[in-house]
Structure 1
Amino acid sequence: MLGLIIGIIVVGLVAGALARLIVPGSQHISILATIVLGIVGSFVGGFLGYLIFHKDAQEGFLQPSGIIGSVIGAVIVLVLYLKFGSRNAVRR
């Protein structure tokens, strides 16, 4: 169980960091937010992969296609966050 949690954190960090490198511009988010970005992106990428290919990850936790899907999902989540989530203006 502990290995699974550590694996999720490491994959989240790698996917989040790669997403931040791929998306142009500066993103002012912390390391913890990068890990959360990668974890959420992993779920998004897995869901989209299931919708497109109708297959589930039954062959193990770490697979190259799963990591690629995690990065793609993290890029999608980061672009959506930059578009809608980081509003610094005061709304009245």
Structure 2
Amino acid sequence: MEMILGLLIPALSGAAGGNIIGKVAGALNGGGTLNTILGAVGGLGAGSILGSIGVDTASGADAAAAVSNFDIGTLISGVIGGGAGGAALGGIGGIIKNMMSKG
């Protein structure tokens, strides 16, 4: 059960990040479905990408352990990392979609 929550935290945070960036910056908006899907994927991938460049974010097993131990700091880092990854990938998807629709 904790492992499922460990995956849901960055995925849901990423989906929220993708939708927020789409609402805030119209040029990065790829539509609700695209923002949500790319945001969730970006949120899941953000932990491993940010971890490889030295930023410590909680994902997977770390997030699962944080849920079971109620480690607020680790949970917040997972939410922030997932949201940032979701916003980044959602924004990139929005840019590509908007460029394709103009051409």
TM-score, structure 1 normalization: 0.61
Deviations 1:9-67 (A, max 9, x none): 64343232233244x2252512x333212211212321222112275732335711111
The structure 2 residue matched to 1:69, chosen from 77, 81, 84, is 81
Q: After the TM superposition, which parts of structure 1 deviate over 6 Å for at least 4 consecutive aligned residues?
A: none
The CA RMSD over aligned residues, in Å, is 3.3
TM-score, structure 2 normalization: 0.56
Aligned to 1:79: 91
Higher relative contact order (Cα pairs below 8 Å, separated by 6+ residues): 2
Equivalent position SS for 1:63: helix
Shift of 1:69: 1.0
Listed as ranges, the gaps of 5+ residues in structure 1 are: none
Pick the structure with more helix per residue: 2
List aligned pairs for 1:8-87, cutoff 5 A. 10-22=12-24, 24-25=25-26, 27-30=29-32, 32-53=33-54, 57=58, 58=62, 59-60=65-66, 63-86=75-98, 87=100
Identity of aligned residues (%): 20
Shift of 1:85: 3.7
Given that 2:39 and 2:86 are in contact with CA atoms closer than 8 Å, whether structure 1 keeps it comes out as yes
Listed as ranges, the gaps of 5+ residues in structure 2 are: 68-73
